[in-house]
Homo-oligomer: A and B are copies of this chain.
Amino acid sequence: MAAKQKTRYAILGLLSWKPMSGYDIKKVVDVGLSHFWNENFGQIYPTLESLVSDELATKQEQGSQGKRKRFVYSITGKGRRAFKTWLKEPTAMPVVRNELQLKFFLSCNLPPAETIRLIRAYQTDQKALLDEYQRSATVLRAAMNAEAYPEELDEILQITSSKPSQRAAQCKVFYLTLRQGILSIQARLSWCDEVAKSLKE
């Protein structure tokens, strides 16, 4: 049963940081969590409404005079409890479908040229991604330790906090999730090397 409604809890969890609009949520996910999460408007807005109707969040209109229409959602006490319950639930680890692995596996009955091409393209993509992640990680690492708060960070974090102590903690979390991305890519690249060696025989 259940083990679903991931969007619901993802949004609830983000609202536990601070009140946000649907647009804010989309941006935070796209810019900050993009290496392990995604959301789209088609899910976000209906889910926010459903959170309100279940009393897990409240909706407030913001910016009346001259400003753009904007609805900000805040988590309620009930919402916070629901979120914490979800956190404590065992995390299901469903099979993650890996299309590249599938292609690799299925290409092996054919002449090896196709497999080699596949692996090479993958390697190139992953290396580019690794570069990107490592650049972000460097910035985050610096911001974690230094007093100075580089402006580039706003682009990565999106969730900005005024207190330096909180900022450092937030940088740390972002940094650690990025590390998972980096370690995973490195594992994939090692695998490519193994495969390349194995195919040469």
Contacts of A61 in B (CB 8 A): none
User: CB within 8 Å of B: which of A155-201?
Assistant: 169-170, 172-173, 176-177, 179-180, 183-184, 186-188, 190-191, 194-195, 198
How long is the Cα–Cα vector from A58 to B32 in the complex, in angstroms?
48
Contacts of A108 in B (CB 8 A): 169-170, 172-173
How long is the Cα–Cα vector from A38 to B83 in the complex, in angstroms?
29
A36 x B106 contact (CB < 8 A): no
* Residue A92 interfacial (CB < 8 Å): yes
Mask for A88-122, Cβ within 8 A of B = 1, else 0? Answer: 10111111111111111111111000100110011
Q: Tell me how far the C-beta of A76 lies from the nearest C-beta in chain B, rounded to whole angstroms.
A: 16
